[in-house]
């Protein structure tokens, strides 16, 4: 298992055991896992984002900490939060992360998430000019998600 996966798994376990709210001391976690503190920062900034359903706040200094809170919202609110965070352009990797997050939170079933990922892939959008693919992907995902809310 890669170190970033181990850090993410550890933080997720902390969130699960603490009702979705974990307070982390970066240096202590890095020492416990045998990594450098910057690895903790990388994982938090890449895997615990608002688009993925987390709020991150930090306090610097000797008694400093990083607090990660899992947003507890209803299915429709979560989908609308994601729709509003997409903007006008969306790369393939970000789309996949959003779909994986929705699958992980049981908003989408596995088959639906896979079909959506295929429809948003570069291969499916290959007939569109490269310059507009990310804009098209953003529009498609927003419309798919809004359709799911209406079901």
Domain boundary among 19, 49, 70: 70
Whose CA is closest to 41, among 50, 54, 29?
29
**Per-residue pLDDT, 72:** 67
Angle between helices 130-149 and 92-104 (to 10 degrees): 20
Enclosing domain of residue 94: 75-149
Whether residues 87 and 129 fall in one domain: yes
Distance, CA of 15 to CA of 17 (rounded, Å): 6
Taking the model in full, what pTM does it have?
0.60
* 8-state DSSP, 22: E
Distance from chain centroid for Cα 114: 16
Whether residues 22 and 52 fall in one domain: yes
Whether residues 59 and 79 fall in one domain: no
Domain count, the chain: 2
Whether residues 65 and 124 fall in one domain: no
Whose CA is closest to 52, among 8, 18, 112, 99?
99
CATH number at residue 129: 1.10.1200
- Report the chain (151 residues): mean pLDDT per 10 consecutive residues: 89 91 91 92 88 82 82 79 88 90 88 96 95 96 92 64
Domain boundary among 42, 70, 98: 70
Whether residues 94 and 117 fall in one domain: yes
**Per-residue pLDDT, 63:** 66
CATH number at residue 36: 3.30.56.130
**Per-residue pLDDT, 43:** 93
Q: Is 62 left (phi over 0), alpha (psi -120 to 50) or beta?
A: alpha
Whether residues 124 and 144 fall in one domain: yes
Domain boundary among 22, 46, 70: 70
Three-state DSSP state, 122: coil
Whether residues 66 and 80 fall in one domain: no
């Amino acid at each position: 298992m890669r170190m970033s996966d181990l850090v993410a798994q550890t933080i997720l376990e902390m969130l699960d055991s603490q009702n979705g709210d974990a307070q982390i001391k970066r240096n202590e976690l890095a020492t416990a896992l045998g990594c450098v503190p910057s690895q903790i920062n990388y994982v938090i900034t890449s895997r615990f984002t608002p688009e993925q359903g987390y709020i991150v706040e930090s306090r610097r200094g000797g008694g400093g900490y990083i607090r990660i809170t899992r947003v507890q919202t209803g299915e429709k609110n979560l989908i609308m939060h994601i729709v509003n965070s997409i903007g006008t352009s969306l790369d393939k990797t970000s789309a996949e992360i959003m779909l994986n997050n929705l699958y992980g939170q049981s908003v989408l079933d596995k088959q639906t998430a896979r079909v959506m990922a295929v429809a948003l892939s570069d291969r499916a959008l290959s007939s569109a000019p490269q310059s507009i693919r990310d804009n098209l992907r953003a529009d498609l995902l927003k419309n798919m998600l809004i359709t799911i809310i209406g079901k």
